[in-house]
């Protein structure tokens, strides 16, 4: 087994394999051994691909010995989120009925990674139908957070984040329609990016309907180093058909002059203020960018809670009918049971029940209920139109800031550290921090900055509201958990976000509180 690989970036691993200083076989064996050591506690892996990975790695090493020209990801082991088709395996989405449906072709993004020389070594766990921010389903069970096994790894790319966070994978493939790349990355202390809407459109067909085009899921990489996101995104970006999804190729983050950038910060979206450690992380990231010459400026955004309103309205447009169809003959996860119960409430009852919930102090649950769609096509069209208006207003607010156009927004990816298992049932998406990127279509990345300090866990006041109580419980005893910052850029300026993330990462890694190694 090769030692010290957990300290190397995926890019450096590839460089050493290509140079002949490190064998792909040794790298693959290292990560297989690490998966075997930690997965009993994490339960992150759904399919092991160890034998095929060993054979492919041997082929790469033979090519190195022959002096052949190597591919950009030559010999690098990668892990794949369970929902992506990978030939010879099932893509179940947590549905027992799909356990024996074996795919004979690769998803285009999986194929792109393979064509670039990457070696899949495992597939990783997800929520049932990818719809909750917690990796748990009736087929594969629950995945745990490597920093605290009693806490969630997030979702829906939760298995990926847990495995990468546990130093058991150098690079992973996930997707994001409502925070599914960013929330798990924040919970597990790793990096990820949801690209600009249209750069990496998702083709996974057993979660939210692909035909829903108001918010389109995007495929993105997950890793422990920002430079690895850049390397992987260059490969994934080439999958897009520019005739269908036009847009510029990924720019070069190294070419960005940080001294020419303006940025704004958010730690309170007007609905769900961030925990103290999360607020500190945003402030520290802002100081890091400012020290590099970027300008922090004031920003008057449109009401950000509209992003949450629009996300819930858009994704509930069919009132759960697609989920009910796909769940036929399957045991329903407890998250799905609650979701479908809410979806079955007649639209005319939404206001009445929301008022009743508010009357007993459950204002946050009432707000979610009010956000659900009526299920009519006309309401869906109106939601999409409202989303277009929101995007324009958001761009206009950035362009017309008093101190000049704003290039970046620094904010939480999630307003709390990793939540306890089961919290996502009542607290599916607190605040507009993650929905802001999905509704706007802007590129958004996550970079870890620090960990929760003892004594700064919570300043949230006591409340009768169950969601607020869950938030307080989440913050309680959270010292030591990773805390990340979300970096949002303008459309098609993914490289600008990545440049800022790289600078924040470089400075954060100098600090003793940077989340390097989980206690696993």
Buried b (16+ CB within 10 A) or exposed e, 240-268: beeeeeebeebeebeebebeebbbbbbbe
Q: Is 180 among the catalytic positions?
A: yes
Task: Report whether 410 contacts 285 (CB < 8 A).
Answer: yes
| Consecutive H or E run containing 172 | strand 171-176
Catalytic residue among 169, 180, 217, 424: 180
Whole-number Å distance between alpha carbons of 427 and 51: 40
Q: Is 156 among the catalytic positions?
A: yes
Catalytic residue among 24, 91, 156, 440: 156
Which residue(s) pair with 284 in the sheet? Answer: none
Q: Is 36 among the catalytic positions?
A: no
Instruction: Kindly state the tokens that stand for 269.
Output: 């979206």
Catalytic residue among 81, 152, 217, 440: 81
By residue count, the chain amounts to 520
Is the torsion defined by CA of 12, 52, 160, 368 positive or negative?
A: positive
Residue among 72, 34, 73, 27 nearest 53 (CA): 27
Whole-number Å distance between alpha carbons of 444 and 195: 7
CA angle 382, 210, 177 (to 5 degrees): 75
- For residue 156, whether the previous peptide bond is cis, meaning omega lies within 30 degrees of 0, is yes
CA dihedral 223, 229, 235, 241 (to 10 degrees): 110
**The 3-state secondary structure of 111-151, one letter per residue:** HHHHHCCCEEEEEECCCHHHCCCCCEECCCEECEECCEEEE
Residue among 156, 211, 215, 162 nearest 183 (CA): 156
Q: Around Cβ 52, how many Cβ atoms within 10 Å?
A: 13
Is the torsion defined by CA of 4, 10, 12, 14 positive or negative?
A: positive
Q: Which are the catalytic amino acids?
A: 81, 156, 180
């Amino acid at each position: 087994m090769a030692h010290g690989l957990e300290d190397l970036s995926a890019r450096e691993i590839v460089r050493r394999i290509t140079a002949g200083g490190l064998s792909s076989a040794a790298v693959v064996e290292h990560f297989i051994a690490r998966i075997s050591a930690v997965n009993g506690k994490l339960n992150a892996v759904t399919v092991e691909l160890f034998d095929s990975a060993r054979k492919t790695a041997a082929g790469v090493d033979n090519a190195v010995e022959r002096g052949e020209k190597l591919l950009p990801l030559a010999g690098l082991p990668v892990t794949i989120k369970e929902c992506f088709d990978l030939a010879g395996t099932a893509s179940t989405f947590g549905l027992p009925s799909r356990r024996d449906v074996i795919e004979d072709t690769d998803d285009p993004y999986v194929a792109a990674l393979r064509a670039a020389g990457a070696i899949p070594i495992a597939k990783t766990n997800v929520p049932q139908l990818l719809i909750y921010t917690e990796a748990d389903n009736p087929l594969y069970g629950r995945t745990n957070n490597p920093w605290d096994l009693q806490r969630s790894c997030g979702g829906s790319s939760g298995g990926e984040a847990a495995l990468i966070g546990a130093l058991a994978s150098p690079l992973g493939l996930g997707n994001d329609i409502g925070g599914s790349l960013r929330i798990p990355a924040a919970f597990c202390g790793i990096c990820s990016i949801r690209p600009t809407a249209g750069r990496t459109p998702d083709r996974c067909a057993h979660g939210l309907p692909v035909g829903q085009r108001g918010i389109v899921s995007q495929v993105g990489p997950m890793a422990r180093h920002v430079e690895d996101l850049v390397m992987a995104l260059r490969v994934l970006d080439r999958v897009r058909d520019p005739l269908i999804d036009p847009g510029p190729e990924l720019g070069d983050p190294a070419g960005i002059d940080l001294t020419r950038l303006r940025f704004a910060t958010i730690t309170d979206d007007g609905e769900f203020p961030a925990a103290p450690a999360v607020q500190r992380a945003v402030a520290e990231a802002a100081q890091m960018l400012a020290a590099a010459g970027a300008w922090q400026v004031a920003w008057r955004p449109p009401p950000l809670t509209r992003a949450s309103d629009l996300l819930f309205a858009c994704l509930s447009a069919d009132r759960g009918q697609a989920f009910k169809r796909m769940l036929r003959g399957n045991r329903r996860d407890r998250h799905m049971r609650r979701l479908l119960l809410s979806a079955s409430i007649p639209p005319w009852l939404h206001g009445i029940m929301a008022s009743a919930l508010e009357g007993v102090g459950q204002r946050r649950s009432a707000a979610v209920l009010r956000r659900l769609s009526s299920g009519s096509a006309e309401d869906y069209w109106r939601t999409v139109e409202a989303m277009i208006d929101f995007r324009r207003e958001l761009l206009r607010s950035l362009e017309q800031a008093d101190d000049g156009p704003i290039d970046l927004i620094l904010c939480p990816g999630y307003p709390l550290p990793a939540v306890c298992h089961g919290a996502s049932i009542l607290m599916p998406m607190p605040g507009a921090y993650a929905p802001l990127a999905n509704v706007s279509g802007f590129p958004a990345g996550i970079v870890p900055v620090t960990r929760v300090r003892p004594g700064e866990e919570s300043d949230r006041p006591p409340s009768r509201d169950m969601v607020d109580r869950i938030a307080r419980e989440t913050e309680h005893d959270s010292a030591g958990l990773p805390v990340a910052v979300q970096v949002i850029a303008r459309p098609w300026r993914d490289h600008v976000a990545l440049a800022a993330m790289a600078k924040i990462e470089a400075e954060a890694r100098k600090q003793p509180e940077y989340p390097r190694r989980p206690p696993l």
